[in-house]
Structures are given as structure tokens and as C-alpha cells.
Amino acid sequence: IIAARISDCCRAMSVQAHFDNEKATASLSTMDHVEIYLSLWRGTAPIYDKDCIVVEAQRRRGSVVNYYGYCRKILDAASGKFDSEKYAKTDGVKRGRRDLAGSPYLTRKITPAEDAGSVMDKALVALNIAAGLIRKDRLDAQRLGMESLCLLTDPSRAGMETAKIAARVVLLDTAQEELVNGDEVIFDESAELRIREVIISIVLGDSDDDSGYDSDDSEEKEHKDLLFNLALVIMANALAVYETPAAATSRLRRNSVVDSFLKDAQEMSSNNILSSLLGVLGQAQDNPHDSFRSAQCLGSLFQGSDEARRKARDLNAKQIVLTALDVGQRTHVKLANASQRVLRVLAVEDEDDEDEDEDEEQN
């Protein structure tokens, strides 16, 4: 019973879990890179009551603060006090960084002392620092730079104005809304950051840094996997910025951004970004966290590009998403929700195709 409660709690919190029934242990991995090792022990008298089960949790890696947050929920679940529905309405949604409507930063207006130019200058400073870090050879510097970009593209952390600037740099390789003001060409300070190039190369798996890695070195492989996950988070955050009401972005503008991003990604690499993201989603059983982020990206790309939705059928996207949905419903709530969103977006394309077929028959 206790193991079943913990399993349901992990599913609700979208925590990947590997259970060992023989040893009564579990290895847990969270979306924010906290690793926890659980052990169940049978208590003995006189210290414990008869038939008492002791749940031991050990932090193997990650933030201590986040670790204690997860532990409280897991121990509550073990004692039957965890309410998954209540969690989904509060902490659960915010941890996924998708439902940003309740964030106080989204509706924060820029004060006279903090004009648009000031926000732009501060954002460019932060982006320049992050760009410098991700291009360094040191593993810790690369990770710090990627984590900085995760924060800069998250409106609930950096504020909507800063997130919009960071999102433009990630998707369009420019911090400017428009590069031409009347007859005057605006100097773009962000043109040499190359942040988009790095993000796309990591996601598509053709980064130049691969030549320096030893495939047998587990630490370096772990580092590459972490950078890949962070790149997916950055891309998902940037695409999500153009979908939030606070961004005040028209549907036409959003679609133009998505189409431009897909076109530029195709020119930068021989690999197709939609195919790569669907490949990640297809590994939901082994890596649900990356699959969840991939589903977020795919949902935004399919939503914002008619061409991407048309290509989805050739890539067998619907079947891949259905498989991920099945995995998510059993083990990972956020993956299930993201997969359902992708299916809803793809269903619009199917309805449009049916309407076109009916029009052709009538003609």
C-alpha cells in the first residue's frame, strides 16, 4: 500500500521513478535535477510499532531546498496525507512552468524609472554574460550559462519584458522587435551572441563540442544530457512567451516567428528539428522529462505553423504522441497534459483536411 501511494505521488509530481521490488527501493529523478534514493524498512520493536514501515529518503544530487520540498510530499503520501488533486491545482502546475497566468510578474508594468530602454540594456547585459558562458570549454560554465538562459526566458522569474527580449534572441537571433525604424537601420547589439545557434545545435545533436567528448566518460555524457535538457527548457520557454496573453502578441506575429525559426533551423543543420523533437518524445518510457519538454516545444511549433502541422502526418507524429500520452498517464502527469495539447493541435489540421476534401467533392 505504501509503495503504491509513493508511486501515485511520483506520477502526480511528474517525478521519474525506478522501483526495485526485491530490495524495496526506488531511485527518483525530478524535472529540476534532484535525485532521491528511497528505501523501505520494516520497523522492529521496541523502537517501532509492530508491522511499522520506515521510509528513508536520501538526497543524491540537486538543490537541498527542492529536495526537502519533494520529501515532504513523498512522506505525506506514504502516510496517506498526500492529495494529488490539490497538488495539481497549486504546486503541480507551477512546477511545470506552463501555466503562467497566476504569476505577479506577468502583469507588472514598467515604472517611469524603469523604461523600455533600461529593461533592454539590463537584458542585453545578462544575455551577453550567458552567451559568453555557454561558449566556454569548462563544463560548469556551460551549465551556468544554460541555466541563466532558462531563467531569462521564464516570465515568472525574469518578468515578461525581459523574457520577450530573451525569447527573440533564442528564436530570431535578435533582441530588437524591428530592425528598421523608418529610414533608420537600428544597430543590433545581440547579433553576435549566437545563442540560437548553440541551442539548435544542442537540440539537433550536431554540436561542435561533441569532438571533445569521450563517449566512455560517464561524467561528460551526463553533462551532455543535462545541456540537452536545459536546451529543451529554453526553447519551450521562448516559444511559450509568444503564447501568453501578457506578451500582447498577435497570432500573425507568433506564426511568423515560428515559421522563421523553423526555416532558420533547417538552414543551419541537415537534421530536421520536428523529427528530432518527435524522436525525443518517442523515448518517453526511458526519459519522460526530456519527452515532456519536447512535447511542450512541439505543441507550440504545431500551434504556430501550418507547415509544421502538415509535416506532422508524414512524420507519424500522432502515433508517437499517443504512445507518449500512454506513458504520461501512467507515470508522468505533465507529459500526459503536454501530449494531450499536441493531439488537440493536430486534430485541428485533421479537421481542416476534412473540410478541404468536402469542398473538393462539392466542386
Question: Does residue 54 sit in the same domain as residue 13?
Answer: yes
Q: How many domains does the chain have?
A: 3
Q: Among 57, 92, 127, identify where a domain stops.
A: 92
Q: Whole-angstrom Cα distance, residue 329 to residue 335?
A: 8
Whether residue 183 has pLDDT greater than 50: no
**Residue 86 main-chain phi, psi, to 5 deg:** -65, -40
Question: Does residue 47 sit in the same domain as residue 152?
Answer: no
Q: What is the DSSP string of 135-161?
A: TSS-HHHHHHHHHHHHHHT-HHHH-HH
Q: Which residues pair with 37 in a beta bridge?
A: 27, 58
pLDDT tens, position by position, 332-341? 999 999 999 9
Question: Does residue 129 sit in the same domain as residue 69?
Answer: no
Residue 251 has what pLDDT? 67
Q: Whole-angstrom Cα distance, residue 62 to residue 37?
A: 12
Residue 111 has what pLDDT? 55
- Determine whether 202 is exposed, middle or buried from the number of CB atoms within 10 Å of its CB (0-12, 13-18, 19+): buried
Residue 113 in domain: no
Question: Does residue 279 sit in the same domain as residue 236?
Answer: no
Residue 150 in domain: yes
Question: Does residue 238 sit in the same domain as residue 141?
Answer: yes
Residue 175, classed as helix, strand or coil, is: coil
Residue 72 has what pLDDT? 92
Question: Does residue 86 sit in the same domain as residue 145?
Answer: no
Residue 265 in domain: no
User: Global pTM?
Assistant: 0.83
Residue 309 in domain: yes
Q: Between residues 102 and 81, which one has the greater pLDDT?
A: 81
Residue 11 in domain: yes
Q: Whole-angstrom Cα distance, residue 81 to residue 118?
A: 48
Which residue matches cell numbers 550536431? Answer: 206
Whether residue 303 has pLDDT greater than 80: yes
pLDDT tens, position by position, 240-299? 998 876 555 566 677 888 888 999 888 888 888 999 999 999 999 999 999 999 999 999
Question: Does residue 239 sit in the same domain as residue 282?
Answer: no
Residue 224 in domain: yes
Question: Does residue 241 sit in the same domain as residue 334?
Answer: no
Question: Does residue 331 sit in the same domain as residue 288?
Answer: yes
pLDDT tens, position by position, 206-233? 655 444 445 556 788 888 999 999 999 9
Whether residue 194 has pLDDT greater than 90: no
Which residue matches cell numbers 522569474? Answer: 157
Query: Using an 8 Å Cβ cutoff, are 36 and 57 in contact?
Result: yes
Task: Say which range, 95-99, 106-110, 112-116, has the weakest mean pLDDT.
Answer: 95-99
- Nearest CA-CA partner of 15 in 1, 35, 41: 35
Residue 33 in domain: yes
Where residue 78 sits, what CATH number does that domain have? Answer: 3.30.310.80
Question: Does residue 233 sit in the same domain as residue 124?
Answer: yes
Q: Between residues 48 and 249, which one has the greater pLDDT?
A: 48
Q: Among 232, 247, 262, identify where a domain stops.
A: 247
Q: Among 74, 92, 110, identify where a domain stops.
A: 92
Residue 49 in domain: yes
Task: Say which range, 52-56, 282-286, 324-328, has the weakest mean pLDDT.
Answer: 52-56
Question: Does residue 7 sit in the same domain as residue 69?
Answer: yes
Residue 116 has what pLDDT? 60
- Nearest CA-CA partner of 28 in 39, 15, 40, 41: 15
Question: Does residue 198 sit in the same domain as residue 160?
Answer: yes
Domain interval for residue 4: 1-92
